[in-house]
Amino acid sequence: MSRVAVVTGGTRGIGEAISKALKGAGYKVAANYGGNDEAAQKFKAATAIAVYKWDVSSYDSCAAGVKAVEAELGPIEVLVNNAGVTRDTMFHRMTPEQWTTVINTNLSSLFNMCRPVIEGMRARKFGRIINISSINGQKGQVGQTNYSAAKAGELGFTKALAQESAKSGITVNAVCPGYIATEMVKKIPQDVLDKSILPYIPLGRLGEPEEIARCVLFLASDEAGLITGSTLSANGGQFMV
Ligand code: CAA
């Protein structure tokens, strides 16, 4: 049996690694993306994974996207909410737009994606929802009041939905990556990375996207059936909970 998995933000960065790992494990994968057509087409050509464009910050777009995936691939059994953006700046300089963009894309997207899939999962008595949060939702970070708030919100959402969904055979978990070598981390000024971040990672290195993908693969598997409402941290020891 080949399960259908949707990965939001699934064509680049951590999401790309997750999409590829799920495909490698035999899932039928739909990789959502928000705007970068060129990267998505390159990803599709290289992986033969189906790509779907919609905006995760819009409920109507997510509902339509879910409908399109289910019509083409079948009922969604695994949902990985990975799409996210940063608008880093000190709070005293943050604009309402920088706040709203990050909250809508990183946090409201969980409502927008989970709501259209949850009824089907409940009816079929099976589901795996995996939310990609962040170390900075656990510990906070200078320059990220918007991002830290959204990522901490994801953890509360995960625990509440896990409690509601357990009796329907649906598990809901979060993965908290630390600093992973992706385009998002490359945007951090090198001096900030060298002075304020790398020295605080006991393993002394950035993580690789594939290391997060392996966490997701485990949580999606039948073997992880006892685990729900959990937060799996993969951060090189930078923050221990
Ligand atoms: N702790 C305490 N104070 C800090 C600090 C820290 N970690 N970092 C900076 N500050 C202080 C500075 O010392 C400075 O203080 P003074 O004004 O008294 O000198 C003040 O904050 C402003 O610092 P900057 O000069 O760096 O200000 P800036 O406006 O040029 O840049 C910033 C601010 C945008 C936040 C920049 O420091 C930055 O990009 N930091 C990295 C933020 C970060 O870690 N983002 C993660 C992106 S990756 C991601 O989000 C993925 C994930 O999930 C991990």
**Backbone torsions φ then ψ of 219, nearest 5 degrees:** -65, -25
Is 142 close to ligand 1, i.e. is its CB under 6 Å away?
Answer: yes
Nearest to 47 by CA among 82, 71, 22: 22
Is 89 close to ligand 1, i.e. is its CB under 6 Å away?
Answer: yes
How far apart are the C-alpha atoms of 101 and 37, rounded to whole Å? 20
Reported as half-sphere exposure (CB side, CA atoms, 13 A), residue 183 has a value of 10
Question: What mean pLDDT, rounded, does the chain reach?
Answer: 98
State residue 34's pLDDT score. 97
Neighbour-count burial for 210-230, b at 16+ CB within 10 Å, e otherwise = ebbbebbbebbeeebeeebbb
Average pLDDT, integer, range 130-150: 98
Q: How confident is the model at residue 1 (pLDDT cuts 50, 70, 90)?
A: low
Q: Which domains does the chain have, with CATH numbers?
A: 4-232 (3.40.50.720)
State residue 75's pLDDT score. 98
Average pLDDT, integer, range 35-58: 97
Average pLDDT, integer, range 58-87: 98
CA of 90 from ligand 1 middle (Å) equals: 7
Average pLDDT, integer, range 213-228: 98
Active site residue 200: no
Angle 130-133-137 from CA coordinates, rounded to 5°:
150
Q: Which residue of 88, 155, 187 sits with most ligand 1 atoms within 8 Å of its CB, as the best mutation to test the pocket?
A: 88
Residue 42 has pLDDT above 70, yes or no: yes
State residue 35's pLDDT score. 93
Nearest to 85 by CA among 9, 137, 156, 157: 9
How far apart are the C-alpha atoms of 157 and 168, rounded to whole Å? 17
Q: How confident is the model at residue 107 (pLDDT cuts 50, 70, 90)?
A: very high
| Active-site annotation holder among 27, 33, 52, 147 | 147
Ligand 1 atom closest to the Cα of residue 184 is 48
Is 179 close to ligand 1, i.e. is its CB under 6 Å away?
Answer: yes
How far apart are the C-alpha atoms of 175 and 200, rounded to whole Å? 20
Is 98 close to ligand 1, i.e. is its CB under 6 Å away?
Answer: no
Q: From the CB of residue 107, how many other CB atoms can be counted at a distance below 10 Å? A: 26
State residue 188's pLDDT score. 95
State residue 183's pLDDT score. 93
Calculate the CA dihedral of residues 24, 29, 32, 38 and round it to 10 degrees. 60
pTM flag (> 0.85): yes
